[in-house]
Amino acid sequence: MADKQKIGWIGLGKMGIPMSQNLLKAGYPLTVYNRTKQKTKEVEGAKVADSPKALAADADVIISMISDDSALEGVSSGPGGAFEGAKSGAIYIDMSTVSPAASARVAAAADKKGIKYLRAPVSGSTALAQAGTLTIFASGPKDAYDQCVDIFGAMGQKSFHVGNGDEARYLKLVINMMVGLTSAMTAEALTFGERGGMDWEQMIEIINNSVVASPLVGYKAQMLKARNYGPAFTASQMAKDFDLALETGRTNNVPMPMTSIMRQFLGTMMATGKGQLDFFAYVTLLEELAGLDPSGGK
């Protein structure tokens, strides 16, 4: 449709593919770039650019969903990055989980180029990305956010403007800290109950219908019951996010004892071959330490 903004999308990982596909379904003209070009075939109907710079040249809105700080700075403000090709007044949205410090550097580079920069990380799994029901929280210029509400609506069921700077970066880390610490609490409690002779599946079912039930516990209940820890989000990925939170907390003199301890256990998971399992597989590490069979005898 002629009235829809032209979008350039950078990063076609587990989240980037379904999110960009939903923009196509919503009728947005889409050009994509991915370092591994083969993945661009999964977004059928999109044009393909050879570089972030080339992608940005004709885009009203550029969106990135990439892995880490260095990737963000590379595709945005680095040599051949989107900022070299973007027109003044273009909107750049990064939806990745990165540090507030790196994000602030990108903001400064965007400002020099006359580019409006939104930080818009998401809450939700790959399944929610496919369904277009993510929760999106954005910070940056409010006028840019207002121009992108419909774009966010194509990818998520709720979006929020949470500030004019890097507030969204902090909020994403706040949520992931709580998610990671919930896995620690749940694992410790389940191991305690298992040692006490509780039936594994019944214990999880009762917890999931108790005062401590939550959307996260409900989402992970079947995984725990089946003891199938295929990753929706790996322990290694959670460790990366904890590192971002801890470094930011250190810079801001925020005490974070629980997060620090859990990061050590995530490191233990990686050292013992569990890093690519779902982060809720932390329970298997505690079972092993307690002398229990993490397979439940299955």
Active site residues: 172
On whether the CB atoms of residues 125 and 232 are closer than 8 A, the answer is yes
In 214-252, which positions are buried (b, 16+ CB within 10 angstroms) versus exposed (e)? eeebeebbebbbebebebbbbbbbbbbbbebbbebbeee
∠150-154-158 over CA atoms, to 5°? 80
How far is CA 21 from each of CA 2, 15, 42, 45, 157, rounded to the nearest angstrom? 19, 10, 9, 9, 16
| Whole-number Å distance between alpha carbons of 49 and 34 | 8
Q: Long-range contact list for 43-51, CB < 8 A, 24+ apart?
A: 43/9, 43/12, 43/17, 46/9, 46/20, 49/8, 51/80, 51/85
| Whole-number Å distance between alpha carbons of 148 and 290 | 51
| Whole-number Å distance between alpha carbons of 43 and 26 | 13
| Pairing of the two strands 61-64 and 7-10 | parallel
| Whole-number Å distance between alpha carbons of 177 and 248 | 12
